[in-house]
Amino acid sequence: MKRLTVLVLMIAITASLVAALFVAVLPFAAESADDPKPPASFRHWYHVNAMVIDKASPLFAAMGGMHNVYINSTGEAALKKGVPYPDKTVFLIDLHEFTISDGSYVEGPRKLTAVMLKDKKKYASTGGWGWQAWAGGDPTKPLVTDATKQCFECHQARKDQDYVYSTYIP
Amino acid sequence: MKRLTVLVLMIAITASLVAALFVAVLPFAAESADDPKPPASFRHWYHVNAMVIDKASPLFAAMGGMHNVYINSTGEAALKKGVPYPDKTVFLIDLHEFTISDGSYVEGPRKLTAVMLKDKKKYASTGGWGWQAWAGGDPTKPLVTDATKQCFECHQARKDQDYVYSTYIP
């Protein structure tokens, strides 16, 4: 009986250790070295536009808040010319909460940052664009697990604009 | 009689030329070399925040629209630290129209650009800040003729924040 107890205990401890190991390793395993990372210092990128999505919008659950859209220098000329974007173009949405007070919509804390990143070869199945988003802008909290369903299905409607919703506002 | 006609004609031509000269010179004369000019390429400056002021706001007549606030590199560190701004700091508001469609507030054409520019000595009577704004962002269309009444009287309420309404949103 004593031997059996020790055996059960050892199995239980091993199982716990294996489980703990999985929990620790999983967040890293989910992200490969090739996955997009949240870009640093995007607030010095070219500011494309601001937008507010409020409760009246069907997009509120997924994208409600105050949007600031930026583009990196690689894509800036294509945005202004209205032509397809070159590889390594990155669009970034910095999405924040907002409060309304006396008719003023005031920006609050960050909800998420989201990028779309051009690589015609790598992301051929989703229009040449890769997508990722991070809760609170935190690189350890990626939100996109299925870019086709979560991103591309909606962006497909803008195929004639290289899948991009933003346009150049001089 | 002929001499008189020639004399009258000469006076008329001279008067026209002088008048034409005044019309040509006046837009420049109205602005001294010291007046603030609309800064170029501010959309690469640090983006401070976005804001919407809609019809429900008492500020709608003067400042209604979609605001994007930028700061030049001189002032960026002070914004982040929450300390008084150094001379040559420039805040810029890029104010655009907006339309609302299905709960989305979408940025439209530019209404004006406005700056506040720090120079403790030069603008000592208005908290150390100079102000100017331009209709449509056009340098030939300045809007501020009395900075005390049009700008400072409202900004005075923020004396404890160096007269600045914007705060740092990380």
Distance CA B124, CA B148 (A): 11
**Contact between residue A113 and residue A134 where contact means Cβ atoms under 8 Å apart:** yes
**Contact between residue A119 and residue A95 where contact means Cβ atoms under 8 Å apart:** no
**pLDDT-based confidence at A15, cuts 50/70/90?**
low
| Single-letter amino acid, residue B125 | S
ipTM of the complex: 0.78
Residues in chain A with CB shorter than 8 Å from the CB of B107 are 49-51, 169
Q: How many interface pairs between A and B have CB atoms less than 8 angstroms apart? A: 84
Mutate to test the interface with B, among A59, A111, A154, A169 (most CBs of B within 10 A): A169
In tens, the pLDDT along B94-125 reads 999 999 999 999 999 999 999 999 999 999 99
In tens, the pLDDT along B27-74 reads 443 445 567 889 988 999 999 999 999 999 999 998 999 999 999 999
**pLDDT-based confidence at A108, cuts 50/70/90?**
very high
B/e letters for A128-137, b = 16+ CB within 10 Å, e = fewer, are bbbbbbbeeb
What SS3 class is residue B60?
helix
The pTM is what?
0.80
Residues of A (71-130) whose Cβ lies below 8 Å from B = 96, 102-110
Q: Above 90 in pLDDT, residue A123?
A: yes
Question: Which of A45, A47, A103 has the CB atom closest to B68's CB atom?
Answer: A47
DSSP A51: E
